[in-house]
A and B are shown apart, each in its own frame.
Chain A
Amino acid sequence: MSLLEIENLSLAIGDTPILKGIELSVAPGEVMGLVGESGSGKSMTALTIMQLLPHAARASGRVSFDGIDILAATEDQMCALRGDDIGMVFQEPMTALNPVKTIGEQVAEGIRWHTKASRAEAEDRARKMLDRVGLPEAKFPLSRYPHELSGGQRQRVVIAIACALKPKLLIADEPTTALDVVLQAQILDLLRGLVSENRMGLLLISHDLAVVTEMADRITILRHGEVMESGDTAQTLSAQLHPYTRQLAQASMHVPARAKVHAAGSAKPLLEVEGVTRDYPGRRTSLFKAAPSIRAVDDVSLSLAPGQSVALVGRSGCGKSTLARMILALDKSTLGTIRFRGETITGKSEAELKAARRDMQVVFQDPYGSFDPRQKVAKLVAEPLHVLEKKPTPAERREMVAHALHEVGLGISDMDKYPHEFSGGQRQRLSIARAIITRPKLVVADEPVSALDVSIRAQILDLFAELNQKLGVAYLFITHDLTVARAITDEVLVMHDGKIVERGKTGDVLDHPQSEAAKALVAAAPDLHRAIARRMREQG
């Protein structure tokens, strides 16, 4: 018998239909993968099971959990289920914990609430649970606060909260999306262990087909609030009977067509970084001693030829973004020099940097956060034009904006819209338009596709490849995602603890990594081909 049985579930918020006739089931000890792009209704399905929907939402159909009719259950009944029989893990570990309570209080709270255990008993159980999720007492006493932990550690605490009472069902909504690949592999491993220990059912929600394939016994694919296809993971993904399944699979393995060009060394390098180091003041341990410094970037040297596309890969916190900020002259290096087009840019004033700024632009990760919501596209995209030698007339500005929009596949009519009128993918196109409007020689892109859905992400990667060919712009891609590196770069630099530990041709490094850091990244990176092959062997 199924643990969770969803039949013909429909959901509307006001007059907007969100879910249409969802069918889904999870058996004890089974991992069900729920896949779909943003807005497909994955999270709403999860919140329906938890009955934590927004007030205006109305659900119909049947959701039964362990014989209980969830849609008809009272709030008191739901409170008894939540956290006891059904646990939930959310996407964003940085904000999922209460900043003013210790991790011990937060794990013990649910235990005390449901079991009426004494404080000491609950803390004892919380301690054991934290040990189980890999946060041993020596380094992570109950008295730690969330801000003292990293993202991966916080996600372990959230999992400890969700699994503290050995729930029958765990719902994990994009549990690893905000983490780097190595942490992702560790968290997935932990979830797998908890499932097999307690015969817990797991509903794993993700936009990442490779992750779901690695984890799930069965898979359900959602689109626009409807189930497109569902079945055994291996069969569904190897047969790819449904066109949308095929489309998703292809998009996740998409590699843009690029003519192989730009062997380094032929021309004078565009960018040279020599022995660059960046120290940050660390935490002061005594009032009278100077704070020890933390070395974020340690003696890094690299060079980039005009038109070359290079990936800087590494785990979160390895110093890759700090290095990028120094290359963009947004941060000062402690030691070392950076030369751009043969001119030194380290230690220059803002006025002296103006010429260099014209030729280097940046694309950020979050297409939602990088635009002022109160300004129109025409103004936002034209922003970098102030670094031009000659101030363009308003007519020229519009002309240039129109041209840049055209190059990224948007229309002239988009000029007078506001950012909120665009989808995530279109917004990323806008930030690329903003980056290329000054005709830069170098674009630094910090995780430019990691916030995008797979199909959109394939389009954006194509756009990057096309602009590289057409405009001859060089790229420095900062990413922890090796598929991006593989898709679009000639060379890879692997960064670890502030140092570059490996460099070489993209294919060579990713297929035959030499350093420990590169090996760990490659081993942890989810790969759809590999995952399907393994599933096929297991499921026959």
Chain B
Amino acid sequence: MTAYLLKRLAIAIATLILASMVVFAVLEILPGDPARLMLGLNASAEQVELLRNQMGLNAPLVLRYLNWVGGLLSLDFGRSYTYSVPVIDLVRERMAVSLPLALIALALSTIIAIPVGLYSASRRGRAGDSIAMGAAQLGVAIPNFWFALMLIYLFAVWLRLVPAGGFPGWSAGVWPALKSLLLPAVALALPQAAILARVARSALIEVLNEDYIRTARAKGLPYRAVLWRHALRNAMIPVLTILGLQFAFLLAGTIIIENVFYLPGLGRLVFQAITQRDLIVVESIVMLLVVAVIAVNLVVDISYAIVDPRLRHRQ
């Protein structure tokens, strides 16, 4: 078990280092001089050169990379060109919106997908299965921003249950804040749930054909007990894999959804930063997202070992 964990941890760290190099390199290659951008078109060459020196843009590449990584490690992400505040403050403020949003969406998609998958698998080929999988097919096909608009129309405009957009801040109280995150979370979660339900169904169907399911039935356990006690845990491995992969899509989805719902989250920040060529902010947020994805996948790897004892013993 320890060897397995250490190995996974080492792989996660190596991926992180590699990803940081790629992020840094891509933004180096991109055209556009941040110093010129900040000073505007009328600035003289000397002024630009001066600012470049101040910002450390003229230092050698390796040194700049190491500086940047060192900054990241000490949570000093630099200053935003456009907002002129430390990036860390921006990120901290925006994270208070995006992190709960992503977590609620992730939880919601799992809570919807697993029971639907169980239901469909145990009624394979019957009407209930066809309806559930038809709905899932629709869920995969519908773009989430369109779905988000429909949700706004139904729940905010028509039923007036939740606000149509915006975020009152956590200082306004937990419930109002949660209420404004509810629709975006549903919009994010449903397409994910649709994919996850399909994966859960096929994983369960495969497991239900295994010999040990027959052994469990021969013990006298009713079908439902067999499903929950024996089939589900074995079907979790592919479900966990997809869950880990989906997290990255979920983060990408927040960029669109936060814009639709006018939420001051990381997704909106990165979108604005890209349009304004605020490269330091882009770099920092992309790196943050990379860390999140790698961390989630590390958690997935660890949960494999919890679910499957064979992994714990293998090298």
Closest to A80 in B: B220
Interface flags, B201-230, vs A, CB<8A=1, else 0: 000000000111011111111110100011
* Residues in A neighbouring B218, C-beta threshold 8 A: 50, 52, 82-83, 87-88, 90, 162
Distance from B215 Cβ to chain A, minimum over Cβ atoms (Å): 5
| Cα(A88)–Cα(B212), bound, Å | 12
1/0 per position for B272-311, CB-CB distance to A under 8 A?
Answer: 0000000000000000000000000000000000011110
Which of the residues A101, A113, A162, A284 comes within 8 Å of B221, measured between beta carbons? A113
Q: Is the CB of B313 within 8 A of A147?
A: yes
**Interface residues, chain A, with chain B CB atoms under 8 Å away:** 50, 52, 75-76, 79-84, 87-88, 90, 92, 95-102, 106, 109-110, 113-114, 145, 147-148, 158, 161-162, 283-284, 287, 291
Closest Cβ of chain B: how far from A477's Cβ, in Å? 29
B171 within 8 A of A: no
Q: Which residues of A contact B221 (CB under 8 A)?
A: 79, 83, 109-110, 113
A92 — which chain B residues lie within 8 A by C-beta?
Answer: 211
Task: For B74, list chain A residues within 8 Å (CB).
Answer: none
Q: Evaluate contact between A52 and B220: CB separation under 8 angstroms.
A: no
B3 contacts A99, C-beta separation under 8 Å: no
Question: What residues of chain B lie closer than 8 Å to A98, measured between beta carbons?
Answer: 212, 215-216, 230, 234
Q: How far is the CA of A162 from the CA of B214 in the complex (A)?
A: 12
Query: Given A96-B215, A99-B308, A147-B313, do A82 and B210 touch, yes or no (CB 8 Å)?
Result: no
| Pairs A–B under 8 Å by Cβ, sample size 17 | A75-B222, A75-B223, A80-B220, A82-B219, A87-B218, A90-B214, A92-B211, A96-B214, A98-B212, A98-B230, A98-B234, A100-B308, A110-B219, A110-B221, A147-B309, A283-B315, A284-B3
Q: Per DSSP, are chain B's interface residues mostly helix, strand or loop, or mixed?
A: helix
CB atoms of A145 and B210 under 8 A apart: no
What residue of chain A has the Cβ atom nearest to residue B2's Cβ? A287
Is B64 in the interface zone, CB < 8 Å from A? no
Known A-B contacts A90-B211, A98-B234; A79 and B216 likewise in contact (beta carbons under 8 Å): no
Contacting pair B215 A158 (CB below 8 A): yes
The total of chain B residues at the interface (CB under 8 A) is 27
Cβ-closest chain B residue relative to A86: B218
Determine the chain A residues whose CB is within 8 A of the CB of B160 once the complex forms. Answer: none
> Would you give the shortest CB distance from A125 to chain B, in whole angstroms?
14
Interface residues of B (CB under 8 A from A): 2-3, 6, 210-212, 214-223, 225, 229-230, 233-234, 307-310, 313, 315
How many A-B residue pairs lie within 8 Å, measured between CB atoms?
86
A291 / chain B contacts, CB cutoff of 8 Å: 315
Does the CB pair B310–A147 fall under 8 Å? yes
13 A-B pairs besides A109-B221, A113-B225, A147-B309 with CB distance below 8 A are A52-B218, A75-B222, A95-B212, A100-B308, A109-B229, A110-B220, A110-B221, A147-B313, A161-B215, A161-B219, A287-B3, A287-B6, A291-B315
Q: Does A83 contact B310, Cβ atoms closer than 8 Å?
A: no
Chain A residue numbers with a CB within 8 Å of B225 are 113
How far, in angstroms, from A102 to B309 measured CA to CA in the complex? 9
Contacts of A147 in B (CB 8 A): 309-310, 313
On whether A100 and B233 interact (CB within 8 A), knowing A95-B210, A147-B309, A161-B215, the answer reads: yes
Interface centre among B215, B234, B307, B313, by most chain A C-beta atoms within 10 angstroms, is: B215
Q: Which residue of B lies closest to A82 (CB)?
A: B220
Contact assessment for A95 and B211 in the assembled complex, using a CB-CB cutoff below 8 Å: yes
Contact, CB under 8 Å: B211 / A96 = yes
Which residues on A sit within 8 Å (CB–CB) of B229?
109
The one of B217, B220, B310, B315 that contacts A284, using a Cβ cutoff of 8 Å:
B315
Minimal beta-carbon separation of B214 from chain A (angstroms) = 7
User: Could you say which residues of chain A place their CB within 8 Å of the CB of B233?
Assistant: 100
Which of B2, B6, B212, B308 touches A97 (beta carbons < 8 Å)? Answer: B212
Identity of the chain B residue whose Cβ is nearest the Cβ of A158 in the assembled complex: B215
* A88 nearest CB neighbor, chain B only: B218
In the complex, which residues of chain B have a beta carbon less than 8 angstroms from the beta carbon of A50? 218
Min CB distance, A325 to chain B, in Å? 22
Would you call B217 and A82 a contact (CB within 8 A)? yes
Return chain B residues, CB-CB under 8 Å to A161.
215, 219
Q: A99 CA to B313 CA in the complex, in Å? A: 13
CB distance from A176 to the nearest CB of B (A): 16
Quick one: which of B3, B219, B230 has the most chain A CB within 10 A?
Answer: B219
Whether the Cβ atoms of A97 and B215 lie closer than 8 Å is yes
Closest to A92 in B: B211
State which of A79, A83, A145 has its C-beta within 8 Å of the C-beta of B309: A145
Closest residue of chain A to B308 (Cβ to Cβ) is A100
